[in-house]
Amino acid sequence: MKLPCLPLHLHHHHHHLLLLLLPLTLPSASPLPVTPQPGPCPLLHILSARETTAPPGFGSSITLTQLLLSTFNHSSPPPTHPTITAEAIDYPALGANTSEYAASVTTGTAAVIKRLSTFNALCPETILILHGFSQGGQIIDDALCGVPHDFTGRGKPDEDGGRVGRPLVRREVQRNIAAVVLMGSPRFTGGKRRGEKGTAKVGGFAARPEGFSCPVFDDRMASFCDEGDPFCSDGENEEVHGGYGGVYGGEALGFVVERVLVG
């Protein structure tokens, strides 16, 4: 028997249910199991993608992933099926040179699309939260907003100049994606794109073109980048690049909670 899951656009009578899942204060970042177990479909599911050269797993995306798990798992009494689960996208995350990075992004984008489709087929009513860090942010952006003619985004323009993003995931998947959080993504434009946050005023090495929009996901996407970041901007401080989970975790959590509650 298929257990019921919350729809993406929650009605007012559902709000009290999710509010019961939220603590009054942020929980401590204690480690939680993040590997989905076979069983009933969860209400919420997180798909996270790690940064370049990080070993298989969550990499730096673990900070926000654990925060989301801690927050939404605060429920009493326990639900009849999981409140929230999480998994890491399996992709190479390589980047020793330009060609290796490009191949990794291509493989990673395909992995995001495939996993979203597979999971949606198994749990067609589960609400999805996507989180990508650095290259992980780029592959999620590409899956949701389309891939330009080359991985840098500087290929030949098409009929609209490559400025309108078109999802590569099926409509059935699109409707279930409630929130997308990118941190340190090379697709960052320097604050010229809707949903961009942080202090960086210059885009990354794979920035989307000026005037770019992704109509399907603009309202559901937040992308963080700070000045000094060498990957999502033009800086030289790698510590800035690695620190987004700690700096913006609370803000990102609030963004996700609002999108899940309101739809």
pLDDT tens digits, one per residue of 190-242: 999 999 999 999 999 999 988 899 999 999 999 999 999 999 999 999 899 99
Instruction: Exactly one of 134, 185, 223, 233 is catalytic; name it.
Output: 134
CB-facing half-sphere around the CA of 30: CA atoms within 13 A: 6
pLDDT at residue 29 tops 80: no
pLDDT at residue 75 tops 60: no
Two tokens at 38?
């076979």
pLDDT at residue 124 tops 90: yes
DSSP one-letter string for 185-217: -TT--SS-STTEESS--S--TTPPPTT-B-TTT
pLDDT at residue 174 tops 80: yes
Is 134 a residue of the active site? yes
pLDDT at 132: 98
**Proportion of the chain above pLDDT 90, given as a percent:** 70
pLDDT at 141: 96
pLDDT at 156: 44
Report the chain's mean pLDDT, rounded to a whole number: 83
Contact 165, 145 (CB under 8 A): yes
Dist CA 165 CA 144 (whole Å): 8
Q: Which of 111-115, 121-125, 157-161 has the lowest mean pLDDT?
A: 157-161
Is 150 a residue of the active site? no
159's CB contacts (< 8 A; 6+ apart) are: none
- Judging by beta carbons within 10 Å of its beta carbon (0-12, 13-18, 19+), is residue 180 exposed, middle or buried? buried
Instruction: Exactly one of 61, 185, 229, 233 is catalytic; name it.
Output: 229
Please confirm whether the linkage preceding 77 is cis (ω < 30° from 0).
yes
Dist CA 204 CA 207 (whole Å): 5
State the DSSP H helix or E strand holding residue 112, giving kind and residue range, or none if neither. helix 98-122
pTM, entire model = 0.84
